């Protein structure tokens, strides 16, 4: 699709705040693929991920007043909305039911409840798989499943301080992996 | 502050991925304002993640954009032609314009309501007038109908009277007795119909002088040479049925006080006729 107009991020945000249809259309055309990727890494089911994406765009549209460009990039803000919506979906009853069915047929969960699915070939999750196991599980539980560090500490029976430092180290390593 | 150590603590990545606590986020945002290198580190990692996401972008289902545009259709500001330029240079005028548009829309709404009100009032007046005239016409028709009905009833009663009279006259047992005017009352004329079998006496007023309202004509039958009261004459249609009389030889009419007299006032006899 030929894009006649090119907006800078600032212009785009300004126009979004003015509730311009063009701006929303542009936003969708340019960011939906990347956001869908973020969502699919957390919600592998495409139909459900599509529902989340739709919800995310509505949220972005309705909450764009609250976006403050001085605090970070537009994509970072949208990515966090997408991640939160995805995790909400993971915790919804409909998703749980779906997963139970999947579990029966694929048996892709280990006893700790952490995800070691064979479907994670997507974006950041693929990179996370390259981490060593100690790190991987922390990133999985915190980023992809949305557990707090306190919850993870109890879940894995590791002191909170250790969870914190280990997760940060994991993220530093993740950064290097993404860079290369 | 050792910003290098801070940056290398993993807090930046944790912040960008949304994994740090609120306090940590507030602290980092504060440090970004003070130390540009912290801000740079945050932006660098954000760009990194962003690039990764764009590299791995997955096209969403084709119909989704359409769905979204429809779902949000009511929330878009109407577009102007030179959208991009205007929006960048005059960010606040648009919201003013918005207000103006809203105000003028209210004006249109108000004007439309007033016009509707006036039209409605005019129609009310017009229809009320119509209603009034129709209502008075209806009243007039009602009165006319009632009077026609009354006339009709009166005619019917009269007709019934005449029909009865006719049946009396047609009866072969009934004999007509013509009562001619006596001397001085020659212009008076009346008739009595007498049924010899049933002794019924009917009076037919044909042509009698007008009389004062305190007087009444009274019919007398002459039976065996003596006058017998046959009843006072009331106003009636056709024949007036009076008292039954046996074997009369003649009938006469006198003018008497209202209600009749026990004996005839012979000086006031008007008509007389033999059976």
Q: Per-residue confidence at B97, pLDDT binned at 50, 70, 90?
A: low
Calculate the alpha carbon distances from B130 to B119, B127, B139 in Å.
16, 5, 14
Which of B47, B71, B87 lies nearest to residue A20, judging by beta carbons? B87
Q: Which chain B positions have a beta carbon within 8 Å of A37's beta carbon?
A: 53, 56-58
pLDDT tens sequence across B154-175 = 888 888 878 888 888 888 888 8
Q: What is the ipTM of this complex?
A: 0.85
Which of A20, A123, A167 lies nearest to residue B56, judging by beta carbons? A123
Burial environment of residue B114 by CB neighbours within 10 A (0 to 12, 13 to 18, 19 or more)? exposed
Q: With an 8 Å Cβ cutoff, are B84 and A15 in contact?
A: yes
- Window B:58-87, CB contacts with A under 8 Å: 58-61, 64-65, 67-69, 71-72, 75-77, 79, 83-84, 87
pLDDT tens sequence across B53-63 = 998 888 999 89
Calculate the alpha carbon distances from B34 to A131, B1, B31, B38, B160 in Å.
33, 11, 5, 8, 123
Task: Retrieve residue B165's tokens.
Answer: 């009279």
Q: Which residue has the tokens 């539980």?
A: A141
The rounded distance, in Å, linking the Cα atoms of B23 and B30 is 11
**Per-residue pLDDT, A55:** 95
Beta bridge partners of residue B222, listed in sequence order? B227, B250
DSSP per-residue letters across A136-165: HHHHIIIIIT---HHHHHHHHT--HHHHHH
The share of chain A scoring above pLDDT 90, in percent, equals 53
A11 Cβ under 8 Å from any chain B Cβ: yes
For the cut 70, the answer to whether the pLDDT of residue A114 exceeds it is: no
8 Å CB contact between B258 and B267: no
**Per-residue pLDDT, A32:** 94
pLDDT tens sequence across A133-179 = 999 999 999 999 999 999 999 999 999 999 999 999 999 999 999 88
8 Å CB contact between B55 and A127: no
Which of B42, B68, B77 lies nearest to residue A18, judging by beta carbons? B77
- What H or E segment, with its residue span, contains residue B228? strand B226-232
Q: Helix (H, G, I), strand (E, B), or coil: what is residue B181?
A: strand
Q: Per-residue confidence at B98, pLDDT binned at 50, 70, 90?
A: low
The rounded distance, in Å, linking the Cα atoms of B252 and B264 is 9
For the cut 90, the answer to whether the pLDDT of residue A122 exceeds it is: no
| Average pLDDT of the residues of chain A | 84
The share of chain A scoring above pLDDT 70, in percent, equals 86
Q: Per-residue confidence at A1, pLDDT binned at 50, 70, 90?
A: very low
A42 Cβ under 8 Å from any chain B Cβ: no
Q: Strands across the sheet with B226-232, in order?
A: B226-232, B215-223, B250-257, B269-274, B174-181, B189-195, B201-207, B240-242
Count CB atoms within 10 A of the CB of residue B254: 23
What domains, with CATH codes, occur in chain A? Answer: 9-90 (1.10.1740.10), 109-179 (1.10.10.10)
| Average pLDDT of the residues of chain B | 85
The share of chain B scoring above pLDDT 90, in percent, equals 30
């Amino acid at each position: 699709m030929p894009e006649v107009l090119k907006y800078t991020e600032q212009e785009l945000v300004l126009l979004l705040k003015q509730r311009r249809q063009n701006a929303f259309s542009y936003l969708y055309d340019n960011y939906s693929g990347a956001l869908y990727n973020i969502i699919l890494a957390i919600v592998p089911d495409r139909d459900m991920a599509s529902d989340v994406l739709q919800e995310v765009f509505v949220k972005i549209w309705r909450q764009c007043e609250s976006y403050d460009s001085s605090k970070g990039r537009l994509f970072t803000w949208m990515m966090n909305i997408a991640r939160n919506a995805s995790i909400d979906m993971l915790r919804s009853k409909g998703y749980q039911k779906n997963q139970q069915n999947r579990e029966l047929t694929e048996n892709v969960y280990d006893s700790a409840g952490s995800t070691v699915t064979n479907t994670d070939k997507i974006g950041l999750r693929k990179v996370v798989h390259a981490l060593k196991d100690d790190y991987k599980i922390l990133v999985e539980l915190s980023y992809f499943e949305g557990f707090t560090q306190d919850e993870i500490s109890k879940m894995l029976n590791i002191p909170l301080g250790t969870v914190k430092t280990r997760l940060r180290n994991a993220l530093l390593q993740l950064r290097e992996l993404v860079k290369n | 502050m050792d910003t290098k150590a801070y940056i290398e603590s993993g807090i930046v990545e944790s912040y960008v991925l949304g994994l740090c606590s609120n306090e940590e986020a507030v602290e980092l945002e504060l440090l970004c304002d003070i130390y540009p290198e912290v801000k740079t580190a945050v932006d660098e990692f954000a760009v990194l993640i962003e690039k990764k996401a764009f590299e791995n972008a997955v096209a969403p289902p084709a119909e989704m954009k359409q769905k979204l545009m429809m779902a949000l259709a009511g929330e878009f500001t109407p577009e102007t032609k030179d959208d991009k330029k205007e929006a960048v240079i005059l960010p606040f005028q648009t919201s003013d314009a918005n207000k103006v548009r809203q105000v003028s829309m209210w004006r249109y709404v108000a004007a439309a309501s007033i016009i509707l009100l006036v039209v409605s009032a005019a129609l009310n007046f017009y229809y009320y007038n119509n209603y009034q005239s129709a209502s008075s016409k209806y009243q007039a028709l009602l009165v006319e109908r009632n009077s026609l009905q009354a006339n009709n009833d009166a005619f019917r009663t009269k007709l019934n009277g005449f029909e009865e009279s006719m049946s009396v006259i047609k009866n072969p047992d009934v004999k007509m007795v013509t009562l001619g005017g006596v001397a001085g009352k020659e212009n008076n004329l009346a008739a009595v119909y007498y049924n010899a079998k049933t002794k019924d006496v009917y009076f037919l007023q044909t042509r009698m002088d007008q009389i004062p309202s305190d007087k009444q004509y009274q019919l007398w039958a002459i039976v065996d040479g003596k006058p017998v009261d046959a009843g006072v004459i009331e106003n009636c249609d056709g024949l007036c049925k009076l008292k039954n009389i046996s074997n009369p030889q003649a009938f006469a009419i006198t003018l008497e006080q209202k209600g009749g007299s026990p004996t005839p006032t012979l000086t006031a006899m008007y008509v007389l006729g033999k059976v």
